[in-house]
Amino acid sequence: MKRLDALGFLAGTLTTIAFLPQVIHAYRTRKTDDISMAMLVIFGSGVGVWLIYGLLIRSQPIIVANSTTLFLVLIILGIKLRGYKHPL
């Protein structure tokens, strides 16, 4: 593996695993009020486009990182959407 790829994988690993403590936090507390819904939706969309970009420039770090990040962001979004049912 090239050194550059290794750096990209380090970056991707950090920005990806970062959402794990957030998933755990949201799952445990069931509280996501302070997390902006607009942030989750726009960020998730952006990560999806990064994934397409990574596929087109064939950058493995970008592909792996963004597909995993998208998965974790969707879990957080799911927990937040479940929370939205409570006031009904």
* Binding residues for a second copy (CB under 8 A): 4, 7-8, 10-19, 21-22, 24-26, 29, 31-36, 38-40, 42-43, 45-47, 49-50, 52-53, 56-57, 61
Q: Please name which of 9, 10, 77 lies closest in space to residue 43, comparing C-alpha atoms.
A: 77
Nearer to a second copy, 45 or 71 (CB): 45
Nearer to a second copy, 42 or 81 (CB): 42
Contact 32, 84 (CB under 8 A): no
Question: Whose structure tokens read 């970062």?
Answer: 18
Taking the complex as a whole, how short is the minimal distance between the CB of residue 35 and a second copy, in angstroms? 6
Q: Please name which of 74, 66, 77 lies closest in space to residue 13, comparing C-alpha atoms.
A: 66
